[in-house]
Amino acid sequence: MIWTELDFNFNILTGDLSHYLKVGLFGSGVGLSLVLGFSAAYTCYYLLSVAKKPQLISGGKKFYRFLREQCPVVSETYYPTFWCWESRIQTLLRPFVTAKPGVVYRNELIKAPDGGQISLDWFDNDDSLSHPDPATRPTVLLLPGLTGTSRESYILHMVQQSRDLGYRCVVFNNRGVSGETLLTPRTYCAANTEDLETVIEHIQRTNEAAQIMAAGVSMGGMMLANYLGRKGRKTCLKGVVVFSVGWDVFECTASLEKPLDRFLFNSYLTSCLQASVDRHRPVLEKCYDIDHVMKAKTIREFDERFTSIMFGYSTNDDYYLDASPVHRLKSVKVPMLCLNAADDVFSPSHAIPVEAVKQNPNLALLITCHGGHIGFLEGLWPRRSTYMDRVFKQFAKAVIEQGTGLQDLSCSEN
């Protein structure tokens, strides 16, 4: 009897609401006018304040002209998905709305000098028509974010873009994150590039005649930038593109500790880091207080209790200083394109190194007004491709196929 009454009352309520909408609002024209007025106002706001051309900054005219000529995406208006252009929404939705292309990897475990092992996932692209010879097929090295692996949607999209270009891909999975056994009590951090150096040397030995370029996302981009800053010209990489890099770790962590961003992002990422540590507790607890690590509430606390100690820093501030790529940009000697969104809460706009980029002809910075952190969604339903994907594809093709235009950037007229 109770359910019958509830159903009856609900039917009356929905019937009255339907009658009000059809007759009271739309029937009188008032509702339709409100909807049309709101739509017009929203469209005007979107076109005037949201959809904008990105800002392209470079330390040299040659690199700037190269990008304008070979990568038209840097000059095009970026139209974020109109129903989710806000930074946090872009960041949160991207893993759920973007498709995961089917990719079959070939896994390889290589030994590190300390006795550990590094997991590489190769996409050989043996069906490549433009580069049928595997000995000379260009190779793209991909570095995922903080807790990411080769299965992240943004990595799969870059593999797909590389496949379309006829290139081979290899994904560098940080120690302990992709299911492999941790053989030594050591994981990874943004400041330490020893594993990355081992991987790049291995790729070069495996395919000596092939061109190699690299792309890094978030922490993967930080590691790449730090690597280039340390190596200078002593690297085989022909070019690098990085996305959503946190240039100053102090500013990044401070931003992520604001109440809303701590709730939405910081706590979740901390739990992901802790889960990775807990999976390898048997080998790690011999050297570190894992119970103390598992009580961390933020990324900063995790780094204070685990990362900075593992890599031998006296304080966490020392680690954050060493991990911040902004301090090594002046030493980068390889063409590097950097894509950041001005509304990225992981990398606040005031910490984007505009002035440092202007001082180095090997650097270029592309800043969009919107895009969030590894978001860059565009189109009505952004499942297939993002603005970030298009930047990657065009720059990768330019580096591999028009790379002579990037030679001697430091010696060119700037």
Residue found under tokens 């079959």: 104
Active site residue 373: yes
Active site residue 308: no
Lookup: tokens for 96? 């759920």
User: Position 56: which residue type?
Assistant: L
Sequence-distant (6+) residues with CB within 8 A of 191 are 226, 311, 319, 322, 323
Do residues 108 and 120 touch, judged by C-beta distance below 8 A?
Answer: yes
Lookup: tokens for 7? 């159903």
Catalytic residue among 178, 373, 385, 389: 373
Distance of CA 270 to the CA centre of its chain: 18
d(CA 62, CA 367): 19
Distance of CA 62 to the CA centre of its chain: 26
Catalytic residue among 58, 344, 347, 370: 344
* Conformational region of residue 99, where left means phi above 0, alpha means psi within -120 to 50, and beta covers everything else: beta
d(CA 353, CA 365): 9
Q: Phi, psi (5° rounding) for residue 129?
A: -90, -35
d(CA 374, CA 87): 10
Distance of CA 171 to the CA centre of its chain: 14
d(CA 182, CA 117): 7
DSSP state of 334: S
Sequence-distant (6+) residues with CB within 8 A of 336 are 225, 228, 239, 240, 241, 242, 362, 363, 364
Catalytic residue among 218, 244, 276, 385: 218
Active site residue 327: no
| Bridging pattern class, strands 363-368 and 55-58 | antiparallel
**Of the candidates 261, 275, 262, 247, the residue with the CA atom closest to the CA atom of residue 336:** 247
Do residues 59 and 363 touch, judged by C-beta distance below 8 A?
Answer: yes
How deeply is 200 buried, as exposed, middle or buried, from its count of CB atoms within 10 A (0-12, 13-18, 19+)?
A: buried
Among all residues, which ones are annotated catalytic?
Answer: 218, 344, 373
